[in-house]
């Protein structure tokens, strides 16, 4: 049971990190697109 909980925590943290990285990547793409539109 302890190992199962440890695995759940590991996957939860991994999903959270991936979510943060994905949101940061989206923000940078959004910023780049707005930057290009502004100077177009």
Q: What is the pLDDT of residues 10-22, one digit of tens each?
A: 777 888 777 777 7
The pLDDT value recorded for residue 10 is 77
The pLDDT value recorded for residue 21 is 76
pTM exceeds 0.85: no
The pLDDT value recorded for residue 1 is 59
Location of structure tokens 């100077």? 39
In 3D, which of 35, 16, 36 has the Cα closest to residue 24?
16
The pLDDT value recorded for residue 7 is 76
26 pLDDT band, cuts 50/70/90, is low
What is the rounded distance in angstroms from the CA atom of residue 1 to the CA atom of residue 15? 21
User: What CA dihedral angle connects 12, 13, 14 and 17, to 10 degrees?
Assistant: 130
40 pLDDT band, cuts 50/70/90, is low
> How far from 25 is each of 1, 7, 21, 22, CA to CA, in Å?
36, 27, 6, 5
């Amino acid at each position: 049971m302890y190992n199962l909980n440890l695995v759940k925590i590991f996957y939860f943290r991994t999903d959270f990190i991936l979510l943060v990285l994905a949101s940061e990547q989206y923000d940078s793409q959004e910023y780049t697109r707005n930057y290009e539109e502004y100077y177009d």
